[in-house]
């Protein structure tokens, strides 16, 4: 085999290996989140699996207390309703550092990552979503 043919084969194998590594890396890192409605439709099939669920913290549902392992946070995660009506919700339990933008009264848009079992979503992380727009407080 001549030198150009060996180089072409080596380049092809290298490009194939790099392409495969990129594909597998993106596939492992790409974790989509479910909305509350999507999650509730198939919650039993997702039991004890790692999931991400996006929603809005229901107003008045947040309870906090300090533990030796961090802050214990319990709240109900509902859908993104803007009309104030209560819809379907999932109870969430989280122990760790609460994000700065998390509102203690509720109303924060969050993405919860964890496992669902026994009717409760046990969160390993709680990420707050940035609001789509910032509004000035009334009277300012």
**For the chain, what are the domain ranges?**
1-30, 34-128
Task: Judge residue 90's burial from the number of C-beta atoms within 10 Å of its C-beta, 0-12 exposed, 13-18 middle, 19 or more buried.
Answer: buried
Residues 6 or more apart from 107 whose CB is under 8 A from it? 56, 57, 59
Domain 34-128: give its CATH architecture. Beta Barrel (2.40)
Examine the pLDDT at 74 and tell me if it is beyond 90.
Answer: yes
User: Could you tell me the pTM of the whole model?
Assistant: 0.68
State the average pLDDT over residues 52-72.
87
Q: What is the pLDDT of residue 69?
A: 79
pLDDT, residue 37, reads 86
- Residue 77, strand partner residues: 57, 90
Q: Cα separation of 129 and 140, whole Å?
A: 24
Confidence of residue 36 (pLDDT cuts 50, 70, 90): confident
pLDDT at 133 over 60: no
């Amino acid at each position: 085999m001549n030198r150009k043919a060996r180089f072409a084969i080596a380049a092809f194998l290298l490009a194939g290996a790099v392409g495969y590594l990129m594909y597998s890396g993106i596939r492992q890192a790409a974790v989509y989140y479910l909305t509350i409605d999507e999650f509730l439709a198939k919650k039993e099939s997702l039991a004890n699996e790692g999931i991400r669920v996006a929603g809005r913290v229901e107003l008045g549902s947040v309870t906090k207390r300090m533990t030796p392992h961090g802050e214990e946070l319990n709240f109900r995660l509902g859908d993104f309703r803007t009309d104030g009506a209560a819809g379907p919700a999932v109870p969430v339990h989280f122990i760790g550092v609460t994000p700065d933008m998390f509102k203690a009264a509720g109303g924060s848009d969050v993405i919860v990552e964890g496992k669902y079992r026994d009717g409760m979503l046990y969160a390993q992380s709680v990420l707050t979503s940035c609001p789509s727009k910032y509004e000035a407080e009334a009277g300012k």
